[in-house]
């Protein structure tokens, strides 16, 4: 039976998958700089008989690994970028592995290895049972800065894919059936004129003043955008010494909203705010558009397949050592955090009281809702039917982008959740590969949902991946 082949293949490769997840965890490389992490995953792809095209879409750490030929083409999406400043040992108390360095506070070391495990399992089933079609594993860099998949989609790497599946480490085992915010990422650089700040201030034109005035204007703009919109910024360049009027200053903005069209509209208004700041300070400015992404478009047919398979596989087999680790992590939470977590689930009809690890299967709680974050999976979801699941890889209540997640992602709690995800995705991909009626329904749903909003890349013409993005 192909199902048994999928499960058996994941179990047979489990040591390799855990090893590569642990290696990527230790490397902890940030987006577009995941050189050794990508190499580790590529090496495992080649070992298992995949052909690999590396350095795709202008990004040295992006790649596509493929097996088979012809349709259907099933895509499995992997990520492997870390987050700045979240270095942490695989320990239940805060203890940086390398202080100040990156860490996998979003579990992407697990995400890439788990998706690759599903691809390996599907490849084994295809070879053993002589199944036609193609499986592709997409090595997608820089998800945290919402870059990788946007450029991969722009360059046509998904145009032949019939359906795509992915996952994300979390603290429960469920389906992600909601959406996420569309987004623009851009840097505004103001150019002024330097002078002695005390002896000759009248000759200066402060670029920093322009940045600060822009930020004030943006903060007033928040009152007049849709409630779900988000504007975030950091000043990446603010001048040198206080006695020099800054001739150059830079601010980096994220603009988010539930729909791509809303982001475009708010971004145009933000540019008018920059115009005003430049006028007030007699400076000039330019914009470096780094990236933009779409909101996610959940495909119910693919999602239902994932949830059915997740229900069959079940949650991770946590043991007493995992439980003890999780309880030690939870003991360090701020007062009231776990009670708030339990209350959140109670409000949604789920009794999680007293638990620190989720080993069951939970129905999707986000159906029809929009989360406050963003993901470049959204761009893939607008060019092919896409769905994603989550499995328990961290204790309940663990904040996203935290040392607690980094810790769990480097030990057995994370690895067990990863292997569950690999089995579920492998089985769901098998269904899409071998059941033409299901795939046809997924495609029909996709066509209906996108007929009035066909995908148009948010990237300006001629855009190149911002390989320097984190250099500031």
- Contact indicator for 182, 294 with CB cutoff of 8 Å: yes
Which contiguous run of DSSP H or E holds residue 113?
A: helix 108-129
Give 257's strand partners: 182
State whether 228 and 302 are in the same domain. Answer: no
Residue 394 and residue 248 share a domain:
no
One domain, residues 186 and 170: no
Whether residue 393 is contained in a domain is answered as: yes
Which residues in the chain show pLDDT less than 50? 472
Same domain, 165 and 221: no
472 within a domain of the structure (yes/no): no
* C-alpha to C-alpha distance for 163 and 428, rounded to whole angstroms: 11
Domain count, the chain: 2
User: Is 459 a member of any domain?
Assistant: no
The reply to whether 456 falls in a domain is no
Q: pLDDT of 174-225, one tens digit each?
A: 999 999 999 999 999 999 999 999 999 999 999 999 999 999 999 999 999 9
Domain of residue 172, CATH code = 3.40.630.10
Q: Which helix (H) or strand (E) holds 76?
A: strand 73-79
Residues 162 and 13 in one domain: yes
Query: 0.85 cut: is pTM over it?
Result: yes
Element (H, E) at 135: strand 133-140
458 in any annotated domain = no
Q: Give the pLDDT confidence score for residue 470 in this predicted structure.
A: 56
Torsion, CA 97, CA 100, CA 102, CA 103, rounded to 10: 40
- Is the domain of 79 the same as that of 147? yes
Are residues 108 and 118 located together in one domain of the fold? yes
Enclosing domain of residue 144: 2-180+295-450
For 197, the 3-state DSSP assignment is coil
Same domain, 317 and 226: no
Backbone angles phi, psi at 291, to 5 degrees: -170, 170
Residue 266's domain is classified under what CATH number? 3.30.70.360
Same domain? 285 vs 299: no
Pair 108, 38: CB distance under 8 Å: no
Domain shared by 172 and 320, yes or no: yes
**469: in domain:** no
Residue 101 lies in a domain: yes
Tell me, yes or no, whether 356 lies in a domain: yes
List, in sequence order, every residue forming a beta bridge with 323; answer none if it has no partner. Answer: none
Distances (CA, A) of 280 to 238, 249, 285: 18, 15, 12
322, 415: one domain: yes
| DSSP secondary structure string for all residues of 347-374 | HTT---TT-SS--S----S-TT-B-SS-
Closest CA to 81 of 27, 117, 29, 22: 29
**pLDDT one-digit tens code per residue, 368-424:** 899 989 999 999 999 999 999 999 999 999 999 999 999 999 999 999 999 999 999
Residue 16 sits in the same domain as residue 122? yes
């Amino acid at each position: 039976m192909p199902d048994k082949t999928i499960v058996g293949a994941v179990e047979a490769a489990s040591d390799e998958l855990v090893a590569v997840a642990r290696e990527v965890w230790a490397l902890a490389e940030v987006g577009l700089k995941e050189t050794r992490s990508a190499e580790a995953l590529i090496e495992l792809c080649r070992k298992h008989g995949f052909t690999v095209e590396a350095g795709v879409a202008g990004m040295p750490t992006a790649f596509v690994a493929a097996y088979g030929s012809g349709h259907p083409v099933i895509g499995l999406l992997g990520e492997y970028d870390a987050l700045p400043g979240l270095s942490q040992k695989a320990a239940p108390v805060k203890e940086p592995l390398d202080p100040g360095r990156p860490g996998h506070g979003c579990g992407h070391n697990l995400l890439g290895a788990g998706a690759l495990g599903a691809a390996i399992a599907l490849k084994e089933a295809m070879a053993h049972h002589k199944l036609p079609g193609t499986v592709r594993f997409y090595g997608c860099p820089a998800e945290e800065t919402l870059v990788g998949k946007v450029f991969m989609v722009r360059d046509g790497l998904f145009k032949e894919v019939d359906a795509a599946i992915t996952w994300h480490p979390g603290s429960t085992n469920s389906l992600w059936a909601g959406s996420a915010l569309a987004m623009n990422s851009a840097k505004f650089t103001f150019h002024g004129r330097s002078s002695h700040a005390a002896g000759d201030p009248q000759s200066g034109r402060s670029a920093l003043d322009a940045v600060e005035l822009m930020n004030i204007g943006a903060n007033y703009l928040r009152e007049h955008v849709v409630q779900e919109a988000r504007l975030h910024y950091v000043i990446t360049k603010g001048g040198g010494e206080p006695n020099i009027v800054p001739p150059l200053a830079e601010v980096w903005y994220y603009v988010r909203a539930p729909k791509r069209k809303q982001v475009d509209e708010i971004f145009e208004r933000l540019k008018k705010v920059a115009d005003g700041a430049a006028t007030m300070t007699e400076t000039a400015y330019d914009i470096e558009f780094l990236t933009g992404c779409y909101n996610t478009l959940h495909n119910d047919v693919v999602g239902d397949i994932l949830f059915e398979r997740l229900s069959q596989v079940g949650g991770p087999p946590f043991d007493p050592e995992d439980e003890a680790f999780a309880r030690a992590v939870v003991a360090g939470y701020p007062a009231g955090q776990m009670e708030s977590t339990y209350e959140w689930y109670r409000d949604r009809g789920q009794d999680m009281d007293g638990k620190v690890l989720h080993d069951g299967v939970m129905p999707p709680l986000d159906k029809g809702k929009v989360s406050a974050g963003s993901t470049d999976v959204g761009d893939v979801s607008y060019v092919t039917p896409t769905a994603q699941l989550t499995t328990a890889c961290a204790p309940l209540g663990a904040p996203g982008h935290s040392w607690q997640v980094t810790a769990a992602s480097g030990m057995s709690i994370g690895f067990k959740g990863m292997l569950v995800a690999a089995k579920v995705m492998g089985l769901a991909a098998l269904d899409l590969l071998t059941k033409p009626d299901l795939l046809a329904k997924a495609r029909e749903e996709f066509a209906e949902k996108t007929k009035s909003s066909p995908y148009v890349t948010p990237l300006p013409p001629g855009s190149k991946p911002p390989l320097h993005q984190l250099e500031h």
